[in-house]
Amino acid sequence: MNAKLFRMVRDRDFTGVSGTGHVADGVEWPDGAVSIRWLALPAASTVHWDAPDGLEHAVQVHGHGGLTRFVWADSGQEVEL
């Protein structure tokens, strides 16, 4: 398995921090770990979740109950867990 790139697309920003639209880029590493980089200044930052359930944890924490979509960069399809 190769590393897979994804985007976080936020339809509604209830925190008022990251904004809406394409707010972050992420990588799912071959071992299942995930790294996410937020794009908006001044809140630009990077977070990491360890394997094997990194993507599940990222969606749980930053998906905001479906307000943020995780979309594979290569296909444009939403991530399905």
Residue 26 pLDDT = 97
- pLDDT tens digits for range 20-77: 899 999 999 999 999 999 987 777 899 999 989 999 999 998 887 888 899 999 999 9
Report the pLDDT averaged over residues 1-29: 88
Sequence-ordered list of residues with C-beta below 8 angstroms from that of 20, at least 6 positions apart, any chain: 10, 11, 12, 13
Residue 78 — pLDDT band, cuts 50, 70, 90? very high
pTM: 0.85
H/E segment holding residue 60:
helix 54-62
Residue 12 — pLDDT band, cuts 50, 70, 90? confident
